[in-house]
Amino acid sequence: MRETAVGHPLVLEYLRQLDAALKALPVKNSRELREQVTAHLDEAVSPSADDEAVANVLRRLGSPGELVAEAVSVTGKRPWPARLGWRAWALIAAAVILIAAVISYVAVIESTGPLIAQGTSAWWYPQDYNRAVITEPDRMTGMTETTVPIRPGQRQGFVIELFNFTGRTQTVLGTTEDFTAPGGGANAQIGVSIVNPYRRNDAVWSLHYALPASIPPNQTRALRVLWTSNHCLPTGGGSGIRQLTIRVRVGWITRTEVIQLFQGFFLEHGKGPCPEG
Amino acid sequence: MYGMAMGIGLTELRRGVLGPCVLALLELRPRFGLELVRDLADAGGLLTSDGTVYPLLNRLRDAGLVTSQWQVAEGQRARRYYSITEAGKQRLAAFRDDWAQFSAAVGGVLDRRIPDTADAVQKGR
């Protein structure tokens, strides 16, 4: 024989359902009602009662849902933060920590400085390199310009050096989609040297270029831009580039960096005939 | 539909009068929970389920109309006894006055009958 009615399986199941329903009530009211119902069952059910007698008492008591609904109509619901279980709170805490970590990470990456152009800045092909005319620094921008005649239908391009002064490796992925080469050049290609040109004092023209290519912290890589010049420029006209916009991945973030060239690369009207069409 | 509406009406009516009935029982003497439930059940028709008494007792206590305290009698289990307060007694007295007028008014309306048709026809002749 059980010592108290509370040990009866039907009573235990009833109390289990009651505990679940009581989560809707404020904690104080919930404890109070639990205690009252337990005392009621302890008094109303004899320890030797059979299942039918126990079921009768429980039926008269009303379902846990009804009981709590009645209590809610009197006391109001438990405030929603208290209704959440520890699992829900653990999930919320984990989500908050994750979001904070992601935001911090993005903030750190976004605060990482861009690559900067320094060192070599020259035309890629000898026929351009040898004919380049360098102008005096512009009064407004302080920038010099190197100008060569356009060679319609032929490859032209330039090479610069990029220095990564930040503490994070930056991987150059390419130009942005709206990139336009000087002179409306087509088939533009960008490449980054896979080694530091200063490692063996190699000339930038002799290096191997690839894309994507990483630039480790405090290292320099050569960046080459080549295109096919396919426009004729009118006499006295010119077309050039003073800054280069590239896509760079830093950590898990891909961003756009604007590289200010310290020397603008310009094409001007050439002497040769323009190709037909 | 009509039956359901009547059922809800009766439930609301019970809800309204159960508090004063509990106060009336406690005015006679302090009682523990199951004792109150049994006395109310014996009155007949006041309880839809035994459990509804407990939230009501808590509300009465929060309103200062009832107090409760644990008591342990020799050879018996510990029980929480509920007693009526002075404020509870005043509220009960006020309800008794209101109820007398209210039930008389409701009774007066409900007791009106449609005159017997045959009788009405004869009187009309």
Say yes or no for a CB contact (<8 Å) between B54 and A36.
yes
Say yes or no for a CB contact (<8 Å) between B52 and A62.
yes
Poorest-confidence range of A136-140, A226-230, A243-247, B73-77? Answer: A136-140
Q: Which residues contact A104 (CB under 8 A, 6 or more apart)?
A: none
Task: Give the pLDDT confidence score for residue B120 in this predicted structure.
Answer: 54
DSSP annotation string for A62-125: --HHHHHHHHHHHH-PPPHHHHS-HHHHHHHHHHHHHHHHHHHHHHHHHTSPPPEEEEEEEESS
Q: Tell me which DSSP letter residue A166 carries.
A: S
Helices (H), chain B: 2-28, 33-43, 53-62, 86-110, 117-124
At A18, is the pLDDT very low, low, confident or very high (cuts 50, 70, 90)? very high
Which residues of A fall within a CB distance of 8 Å from B57?
Answer: 36
Pick the CATH number of A114-268 from 3.30.70, 1.10.8, 3.90.1070, 2.60.40: 2.60.40
Task: Give the pLDDT confidence score for residue A75 in this predicted structure.
Answer: 65
Residue range A161-214, pLDDT digits in tens: 999 998 899 999 999 888 888 877 888 899 999 988 887 777 888 899 999 999
How far apart, in whole angstroms, are the C-alpha atoms of residue B82 and residue B71?
A: 10
Distance in Å, alpha carbon of A107 to nearest chain B alpha carbon: 52
- pLDDT, averaged across chain A: 86
Which residues of B fall within a CB distance of 8 Å from A32?
Answer: 58
Q: Does B121 score more than 60 pLDDT? A: no
Task: Give the pLDDT confidence score for residue B2 in this predicted structure.
Answer: 44
- Could you state, in order of their start, the residue ranges of all structural domains in chain B? 2-124
User: Does the beta carbon of B117 lie under 8 angstroms from any beta carbon of chain A?
Assistant: no
User: β-strands A253-268, A144-149: how paired?
Assistant: parallel
Task: Give the pLDDT confidence score for residue A193 in this predicted structure.
Answer: 94
- pTM equals 0.50
Which helix (H) or strand (E) segment is A126 a member of?
A: helix A126-129
Task: Give the pLDDT confidence score for residue B116 in this predicted structure.
Answer: 65
Which residues of A fall within a CB distance of 8 Å from B70?
Answer: none
Which residues of A fall within a CB distance of 8 Å from B33?
Answer: 36, 39-40, 43
Q: Does A77 score more than 80 pLDDT? A: no
Which residues of A fall within a CB distance of 8 Å from B54?
Answer: 33, 36-37, 40, 67, 71
How far apart, in whole angstroms, are the C-alpha atoms of residue B94 and residue B64?
A: 16
For residues B59 and A69, is the Cβ–Cβ distance under 8 A? no
Residue range B55-107, pLDDT digits in tens: 999 999 999 999 999 888 777 788 999 999 999 999 999 999 999 999 999 88
Say yes or no for a CB contact (<8 Å) between B59 and A43.
no
Q: Select from A62, A2, A13 the least CA-distant residue to A33.
A: A62
At B3, is the pLDDT very low, low, confident or very high (cuts 50, 70, 90)? very low
Report, in angstroms and rounded to the nearest whole number, the Rg of chain A calculated over CA atoms.
Answer: 38
User: Does the beta carbon of B80 lie under 8 angstroms from any beta carbon of chain A?
Assistant: yes
Distance in Å, alpha carbon of A101 to nearest chain B alpha carbon: 46
Say yes or no for a CB contact (<8 Å) between B51 and A70.
yes
Which residues of B fall within a CB distance of 8 Å from A14?
Answer: none
* Tokens at A161, concatenated: 């050096």
Q: Does B125 score more than 70 pLDDT? A: no
Say yes or no for a CB contact (<8 Å) between A62 and B37.
no
User: Does the beta carbon of B50 lie under 8 angstroms from any beta carbon of chain A?
Assistant: yes
Q: Does A29 score more than 50 pLDDT? A: yes
User: β-strands A253-268, A238-250: how paired?
Assistant: antiparallel
Q: Least CA distance to B36: which residue of chain A? A: A40
Q: Select from A211, A218, A103, A226 the least CA-distant residue to A157.
A: A226
Distance in Å, alpha carbon of B47 to nearest chain A alpha carbon: 9
Say yes or no for a CB contact (<8 Å) between B54 and A67.
yes
Q: What is the mean pLDDT of residues A97-117?
A: 88
Pick the CATH number of B2-124 from 3.30.2310.20, 1.10.10.10, 3.30.470.10, 3.40.50.2300: 1.10.10.10
- Backbone torsions φ then ψ of A148, nearest 5 degrees: -135, 160
Q: Select from A31, A38, A35, A34 the least CA-distant residue to A82.
A: A31
* Tokens at A213, concatenated: 């290519």
ipTM: 0.79
User: HSE of A27 in the Cβ direction (CA atoms, 13 Å)?
Assistant: 6
Optimal mutation site among B49, B59, B72, B80, interface A, most CBs of chain A within 10 A: B49
Distance in Å, alpha carbon of B101 to nearest chain A alpha carbon: 27
Which residues of A fall within a CB distance of 8 Å from B42?
Answer: none
